[in-house]
Amino acid sequence: MNFDLTPEQDQLRDAVRALGRKYGHDYFVAKAKAGEHTTELWSEAGRLGYLGVNIPTEYGGGGGGITELALVCEELAAAGCPLLLLVVSPAIAATVINKHGTDEQRKRHLPGLADGTQKIVFAITEPEAGSNFHRLGTVARRDGDDWLLSGRKCYISGVDEAQYVLVVARTEDESTGKLKPALFIVPTDAPGLTRSKLDMEILSPENQFLLYLDDVRLPADALVGESLDAGLPALFAGLNPERITVAAMGAGTGRYAIERASEYTATRKVWGGRSIGSHQGVAHPLAHAAVQVELARLMIHKAATLYDAGRDLEAGISGNMAKYAAGEAAALAVDTAVQALGGAGMTTEYGVATLLGAVRAGRIAPVSREMILNFVAQHVLGQDKSY
């Protein structure tokens, strides 16, 4: 069992950390409050090769795996710049297309995903069905050689920044008549596709949207894969990378909050010339949060290692556990940091309360803590399925 990164991974981590600190949390907050996107950071990360670390070298990527992409997610978050679209575009979309797309789809999309010039977002969640693909209402039907998509999606991140959206729909199996999932690469400017921005109580430069698909006409090659049989494996291909990178972003955010709070409490002096961090009532909660973040990081490392080794079932269990642990740890770390800073913790200047909404959302999305506990109870503890 080896907990050390390779020399190349160490170099990647250090380089991404330097890039994140070049921009910093003030940049992130300013962009979010202005209703703007972190375009400069994204573009530079793309030029430097950090967005495509998990994409094969033949398509302009780094040839690494989810371990490397998790490092990128964590280190940018640890610098105060948690970029949600890292999870959506390089982790989900690039993985799905690389593993299950056609040769033409890989050639068309992976180079742009690798250098950051192309973004593909992901649309599975629906108002009535949530993320339960068994109940999805978005339907794709044949019309000659084309496909027509109709339905609604909600909480879809970054549609206004992306050229394409990877839409999960249901199709009818001609041999059985049963509905089965299929994924389609849909241009965000396609006729019949409209969007409505959701107002969220989260400070983020990335926006959330409702999507409406009204007979969106797509060519045959918009279907991911060579046939409808690719739909289910393609859908599941994106789930483990999603959970692992979301967890990495949460762990990085927790590290950032603890670092900010520790700097403050080590130098803030109120009683008798001693730092407030010398009091156990301040130090112990921060130490406890630091332990929880570190435990989450260990599970993230395990999950990413298993995934990159092709051990998907084990990676699914560890990935869900990592997402649960990191979501809880990040929320604890930010809340503890705010409490340690007192009134200063609620100011924009000190840069911790600005993350409260995001870390609270991390306990809900992309899969809630309760659904993860259901998963663990069933697959680890052998309990009957509860839903």
Rounded mean pLDDT of the chain? 95
pLDDT in tens, 205-244: 999 999 999 999 999 999 999 988 888 899 899 999 999 9
Dihedral of CA atoms 75, 86, 349, 203 in degrees, nearest 10, equals: -150
pLDDT for res 94: 98
The residues, any chain, with a CB within 8 Å of residue 128's CB and separated by 6 or more, are 135, 137
Question: From the CB of residue 3, how many other CB atoms can be counted at a distance below 10 Å?
Answer: 7
pLDDT for res 342: 97
Q: Are strands 120-123 and 164-172 parallel, antiparallel or unpaired?
A: parallel
Q: What distance in Å separates the CA atoms of residue 19 and residue 16, rounded to the nearest whole number?
A: 5
Enclosing H/E stretch for 184: strand 179-187
The amino acid that residue 7 corresponds to is P
Residue 133 scores a pLDDT above 80: no
pLDDT in tens, 30-61: 999 999 999 999 999 999 999 999 999 999 99
- Alpha helices per DSSP H over 39-154: 39-47, 66-78, 85-86, 94-100, 103-115
pLDDT in tens, 164-210: 999 999 997 655 656 789 999 999 999 999 999 999 999 999 999 99
pTM of the prediction?
0.96
Q: What distance in Å separates the CA atoms of residue 160 and residue 238, rounded to the nearest whole number?
A: 21
Give the pLDDT mean for 290-318: 97
The region of weakest confidence among 175-179, 274-278, 310-314 is 175-179
Q: What distance in Å separates the CA atoms of residue 54 and residue 40, rounded to the nearest whole number?
A: 21
